[in-house]
Chain A
Amino acid sequence: MGSTAERGLPALFDWFFEAAYPPSLQEDPPILRQFPPDFRDQEAMQMVPKFCFPFDVEREPPSTAVQHFTFALTDLTGTRRFGFSRLRAGAHSCLCILSHLPWFEVFYKLLNTVGDLLAQDQVSEVNELLLHLLQQPLPGTQDSVGLELGSGVMISSAQGIPSPGPGKSMPLSCFVAPDSGRLPSIPENRNLTELVVAVTDDNIVGLFAALLAERRVLLTSRKLSTLTSCVHASCALLYPMRWEHVLIPTLPPHLLDYCCAPMPYLIGVHASLAERVREKALEDVVMMNVDSNTLETPFDDVQALPPDVVSLLRLRLRKVALAPGEGVSRLFLKAQALLFGGYRDALVCGPGQPVTFSEEAFLAQKPGAPLQAFHRRAVHLQLFKQFIEGRLEKLNRGEGFSDLFEQEITCSGASSGTLRSYQLWADNLKKGGGALLHSVKAKTQPAVRNMYRSAKSGLKGVQSLLTYKDGDSGLQRGGSLRAPSLTSRSDCLQQRLPITQHFGQNRPLRPSRRLQREERPSESLGEETPSLSPEDAQGPLAEEALDGSFLGSGEELDLLSEILDSLSVTATRNSSLRPSQSLDCCHSLPDIPGRWRWQADDEKPPGPQPLSLSVGLPPLHTPQPSDATSASEHPTSQLPSEASPEIISPSQSSTASADPSSKGDPSSSLTDPQPLRLSPPHEATQDPTAQESPCSQLSTAPSPRESPPLLTPTKPNSDITWTSQVLDSFSDPGSPENPRAQPSEVLLPERTHLQPHEEPGAPRSPDPPAGNWRGLQARSRPRVAELKKCFEG
């Protein structure tokens, strides 16, 4: 059988079965059918079906509608598996797919397909479908998968409808492999949508606070789908942290005693069992009744959060909860960044030593502030410990990372500690860092040049790739994949600015703040555009004014979210694919393609736009290496170093397009991203005497705004994208790392080393460059700390 043959390889799912309604609480639900037919895991077969009827089967009247819910299993090593379940109307039986993949919407949709087939007694078709699924390798992120009887599975790595061959009908079922790097979005993410719909804002905040305090939390609801959705969604609010403790989205009746566990847990209990749970020896449990929207807690967890974070959440949640998109996720991400973003400043790195986390340094931030009090508790949270451990592990492996959280910290300046330390660091530089920087410069420049050289050669491969992918789908795919690198680039940019460009000056504000007052990604781009340019003009001033406002920075998120939103469109544009990610399985929303269209067309700029975005960003960085090096000597002038012209040339030569943006071309639609990119020009404005070249270079950056032209997948453009991207990663080492290069010279060789890696990778998929880039970027961080230390010492 396919499954056994492929054992060892990750499969899309482990086991499918249908279990019948158990006649009594004492009896196990009989398995009616299963796939693969030779599935023989006795333990699973005995234990798992009980999770399909997690309510009092003797009392609970069968529900009239189909219900989807997801239970979770945790094995002895702590690995989680999910049981995606579809309880038939009337609860006569339950279909269930067991999988490691948290692909809720995908599996719900599959279950619907299977359920429909079974309803028509098309058992062999079901088996065929499942067999195809089991035999195929895991689709990559955002690959679309079409399932068709007879011809099997089609995976297209593109963002298109997997065309079922000439003149054929639409596939039986299709879905897009979710991108785990994206934030849950409403209404595509069903869990989050259910949470927001079912639970009031205040209670969401309360729940979040309880989870952040690692309480024992019990949710109850009469509706299984709502129950498990709320459990999964509230876990997801913790991102980038994870709920490290016991997680039982829906507790089957035979395990009710487990509510007495003394350790933190998050457990969902169906309303029919809630009474029995309450009779147990529960202590200090936070109870939330989703149906009545009541949260009972013996703790003051919300009060234990810094008041500004609470008010941010409360104020903004009301607004964003009503709007489609990533608003809610962004908001909590922002809260997390405010709460934990300071961890970066507590990273310690000595030359030749692994990066470590200094709890003392972490706790010393914001003395006396509520945040400090929060940190005192936070360091004793498992989720924080594991988070730090994960970060250190990556840093010390040289793997690096740039996820949404890091981007959020940087772009919101969430850890104002970061800013301060940069400032401090810069001050120190003024006093005595000159010598250091001199030598840094000497060391870096050759390296940068080297990188540039190999970048160039790497480009060739990329070009060929892009030629190959010239078709619609190819381009779209590229766009979606580039998303992470795009954002990380902006992250990098943000982070670098203070280090590289402002020695001896007042630190310019991060440009992203400028847009604080801007609306959320608005539905009508047209309206927004005009408002942008004036804002641009007064940028520096506005920034200055807003700098201190903690809360206000909440808005900056929207910059990124706008980018991401537009990126997501690539995925969502194909309306036919859309349903797989939607709530269609609730049957409350019909699969009307048009429904999605409004979103794609109205709310967001044309899908591929992100592509162009990525085109724009990279050049930005290029100036920076030169910046860093030259800045050391002449902070104000001389930005055009030897390296930068070289680097820039490719992008410039290829596009004049770059320029319009520099002129602030307001005609382009993407408002939010701009500020991010514009940051360098900003500085230029502040320091008009110098930096002509950065300006011109920067002009390339905004090119994203031009995206509309780029929409048409023209080869030259895509080439540019890559050029800049590759260059970017190389230039990256130049800037933030310059300083760091000194303590450990090893780094540079290492970095150069990355290039060969990248070259072969790039043609295959855009991922590798992004990865490399991340590595570079991440490394820069500890080194900043390291340097800082050196100076302080």
Chain B
Amino acid sequence: MSMEDYDFLFKIVLIGNAGVGKTCLVRRFTQGLFPPGQGATIGVDFMIKTVEINGEKVKLQIWDTAGQERFRSITQSYYRSANALILTYDITCEESFRCLPEWLREIEQYASNKVITVLVGNKIDLAERREVSQQRAEEFSEAQDMYYLETSAKESDNVEKLFLDLACRLISEARQNTLVNNVSSPLPGEGKSISYLTCCNFN
């Protein structure tokens, strides 16, 4: 994975309650392009997908950590170095939605270094068992200033779109950041660092 052929590398971290389909979501997106499960023994796993956006190759590293569900909320140290977070809940599970504020609490506290957060309501294939209305989720995500999308990992609905949209936002964010401050050394303990492996390409 060293200096390969890509223009951007972004690290995306999946969070959310257990059983909301985080891993399925990623596996659907990567479609077995990268053999998953390698890291199942060490409590962390990632999948890679490279997409092309406006002619630029974007490599998405999507990280999934085993056992983080046991945390009622995850603290910023967890996503300090991630470029984006995908916060997932299950639309058929009210509880997973109600936990969102808990998950978000840490993230919001640092609005200045806000990591891009996407809210994903998964399992829309189970519409008949829906417990969280789309409207409610939209209102919530608006209030939290998050991008929101409903997906079905099973039917592959919106999964591609989710990651492509995210990649677009990450690119524009990265550009802005490099323009605004070229020095991207985050303060210890806070801030996020974007991987400018390829920052030369920005100029």
The answer to whether A73 touches B76, judged by C-beta atoms less than 8 angstroms apart, is no
Stretch at the interface among A374-382, A401-409, A488-496, A509-517: A374-382
Shortest distance between the CB of A244 and any CB in chain B (Å) = 7
Shortest distance between the CB of B38 and any CB in chain A (Å) = 7
Known: A216-B81, A279-B2. A261 touches B66 (CB 8 A): no
Task: Kindly identify which residue among B1, B74, B83, B188 contacts A301, using a CB–CB cutoff of 8 Å.
Answer: B188
CA distance A262 to B74 in the complex (A): 14
Task: Kindly identify which residue among B65, B70, B75 contacts A246, using a CB–CB cutoff of 8 Å.
Answer: B65
Shortest distance between the CB of B16 and any CB in chain A (Å) = 15
Task: Kindly identify which residue among A73, A76, A77, A382 contacts B75, using a CB–CB cutoff of 8 Å.
Answer: A382
The answer to whether A382 touches B42, judged by C-beta atoms less than 8 angstroms apart, is no
The answer to whether B193 touches A385, judged by C-beta atoms less than 8 angstroms apart, is no
Known: A47-B40, A73-B41, A261-B63. A380 touches B76 (CB 8 A): yes
Interface residues of B in 60-117 (CB under 8 A from A): 61, 63, 65-83, 106, 109
Stretch at the interface among A252-260, A448-456, A542-550, A642-650: A252-260
- Interface flag for B153 (CB, 8 Å): no
Q: Which residues of B contact A51 (CB under 8 A)?
A: 41
Known: A73-B42, A264-B77, A281-B9. A78 touches B70 (CB 8 A): yes
Q: Which residues of B contact A298 (CB under 8 A)?
A: 185
Q: Which residues of A contact B68 (CB under 8 A)?
A: 78
Interface residues of A in 281-316 (CB under 8 A from B): 281, 283-284, 298-301, 304
Task: Kindly identify which residue among B43, B75, B186 contacts A381, using a CB–CB cutoff of 8 Å.
Answer: B75
- Interface flag for B55 (CB, 8 Å): no
Q: Classify chain A: how many residues form its interface, as a range.
A: 35 or more
Closest residue of chain A to B70 (Cβ to Cβ) is: A78
- Interface flag for A443 (CB, 8 Å): no
The answer to whether A262 touches B71, judged by C-beta atoms less than 8 angstroms apart, is no
Encode contact with A along B19-52: 1 for CB under 8 Å, 0 otherwise: 0000000000000000000111111101000000
Shortest distance between the CB of A719 and any CB in chain B (Å) = 45
Q: Which residues of B contact A75 (CB under 8 A)?
A: 40-41, 43, 66-67
Closest residue of chain B to A385 (Cβ to Cβ) is: B75
Q: Which residues of B contact A213 (CB under 8 A)?
A: 77, 188-189
The answer to whether A382 touches B44, judged by C-beta atoms less than 8 angstroms apart, is no
CA distance A304 to B11 in the complex (A): 27
The answer to whether B67 touches A79, judged by C-beta atoms less than 8 angstroms apart, is yes
Task: Kindly identify which residue among B41, B46, B80, B189 contacts A47, using a CB–CB cutoff of 8 Å.
Answer: B41
Interface size for B (C-beta < 8 A) is 43
- Interface flag for B197 (CB, 8 Å): yes
The answer to whether B41 touches A283, judged by C-beta atoms less than 8 angstroms apart, is no
Encode contact with B along A55-75: 1 for CB under 8 Å, 0 otherwise: 000000000000000001111
Task: Kindly identify which residue among B13, B106, B193, B195 contacts A263, using a CB–CB cutoff of 8 Å.
Answer: B13
Encode contact with B along A759-787: 1 for CB under 8 Å, 0 otherwise: 00000000000000000000000000000
Encode contact with B along A365-388: 1 for CB under 8 Å, 0 otherwise: 000000000000100111011100
Known: A77-B66, A214-B77. A257 touches B1 (CB 8 A): yes
The answer to whether B75 touches A380, judged by C-beta atoms less than 8 angstroms apart, is yes
Task: Kindly identify which residue among A43, A74, A247, A263 contacts B79, using a CB–CB cutoff of 8 Å.
Answer: A263
The answer to whether A74 touches B1, judged by C-beta atoms less than 8 angstroms apart, is no
Shortest distance between the CB of A15 and any CB in chain B (Å) = 13
CA distance A43 to B37 in the complex (A): 10
The answer to whether B41 touches A78, judged by C-beta atoms less than 8 angstroms apart, is no
CA distance A43 to B129 in the complex (A): 34
Shortest distance between the CB of A343 and any CB in chain B (Å) = 15
- Interface flag for A789 (CB, 8 Å): no
Shortest distance between the CB of B122 and any CB in chain A (Å) = 18
- Interface flag for A174 (CB, 8 Å): no
Interface residues of A in 395-452 (CB under 8 A from B): none
The answer to whether B77 touches A76, judged by C-beta atoms less than 8 angstroms apart, is no
CA distance A385 to B42 in the complex (A): 22
Q: Which residues of A contact B67 (CB under 8 A)?
A: 74-79
The answer to whether B2 touches A263, judged by C-beta atoms less than 8 angstroms apart, is no
Known: A262-B13, A281-B195. A244 touches B46 (CB 8 A): no
CA distance A254 to B75 in the complex (A): 29
The answer to whether A280 touches B1, judged by C-beta atoms less than 8 angstroms apart, is yes
CA distance A382 to B99 in the complex (A): 17
Give 3 nearest A-B pairs by CB, closest first. Answer: A78-B67, A74-B43, A214-B77
Q: Which residues of A contact B (CB under 8 A)?
A: 43, 47-48, 51, 72-80, 213-214, 216, 244-248, 254-255, 257-258, 260-265, 279-281, 283-284, 298-301, 304, 377, 380-382, 384-386, 389
Q: Which residues of B contact A (CB under 8 A)?
A: 1-2, 9, 11, 13, 38-44, 46, 61, 63, 65-83, 106, 109, 185-186, 188-189, 193, 195, 197
